[in-house]
Amino acid sequence: MTLQEVLQISDLNKDKALSAFTATFKDLRKSTLGSEKALASCEAAGIAENDDDVVFVFTTPSTYGGFKISNPKQNFGLQNSSDGKYRLWVCVVECLSALKAIRGENLGDTEDSDEEETEIPEEDLEEPEPKPEQEEDASDEDVEKEQDEEADRLTSTQNTNQRESRLYREAFQAITKDEISQIIEVCDVKIWSDTPAFHWQGANYHLSQMDAALYPTNVKPQKWDKYHRGDNYLDKHTQGLVNDLPHFYGQMAQRLTDIVSKRKDTLT
């Protein structure tokens, strides 16, 4: 693979990111268990802290049963798997920006409103008369009444916000497989897999050199480079997933719809 600053799925699919050494084991896994189309599943998605990138989380079973996983938050140390599955992360960079562009910056109801803008009379824009300061000897009854009124105003505001959020979710049009396809076509990606081979055999390091690692590392592999010849960017599980990614566009669309429809503040 040619070294470049960023990567897209098209740079990685069709076994482009697989070393000849790993290809043998990928073929063995496929002949034994089947392709990732049958094995993997898109279990979840989440919006990153920058409110733009989206991480899709896939699961797939181990080839041989009981195994360990690599934890990037504990210096990539190995620990026992709790459910016998690996997790594969595909972070789609600037995913929400791409979705906005596809939908013409409108992620809610796409119909134009026929309601005309109401002009506010100038007299209504004048600053209100300042309220006289409350007298120091205000009765307990007056204080309690004011507190009750403030509580009512807060409750009314909360109810309005909840109603607006509900209306937004109802108006939001579900994301489609075609939109996911368009997003994947234009967006860069970052990859992580908790399979030990992904990090410890060097794929994570090589992706880090291209700013395509979700959990980057600057530790170059020593032992495994002689087997992979520096040409491994994905392990057999992630390569199989990337090859078959279009098969999961429907699941990805549903996961993204679930989270985007609840994030009006992020998308408007």
Cβ-Cβ contacts under 8 Å for 193 (sequence gap 6 or more): 86, 87, 88, 89, 203, 234, 235, 237, 238
- 1 in a domain, yes or no? no
- 137 in a domain, yes or no? no
- 167 in a domain, yes or no? no
- 123 in a domain, yes or no? no
pLDDT at 92: 98
- 134 in a domain, yes or no? no
Predicted TM-score of the model (pTM): 0.74
Domain ranges, residue 233: 9-106+172-267
pLDDT tens digits, residue range 78-105?
A: 999 888 899 999 999 999 999 999 998 6
What's the rounded Cα separation, in Å, for the pair 42 and 173?
21
pLDDT tens digits, residue range 16-65?
A: 999 999 999 999 999 999 999 999 999 999 999 999 999 999 999 998 87
Q: What is the β-pairing status of strands 41-47 and 85-92? A: unpaired
Question: Structural domain tally of the chain?
Answer: 1
Binning pLDDT at 50, 70 and 90, where does residue 226 land?
Answer: confident
- 89 in a domain, yes or no? yes
Average pLDDT value for the chain: 83
Cα–Cα distance list, 30 to 37, 193, 196 (Å): 10, 18, 19
User: How many whole angstroms from its chain centre is CA 202?
Assistant: 24
- 143 in a domain, yes or no? no
- 234 in a domain, yes or no? yes
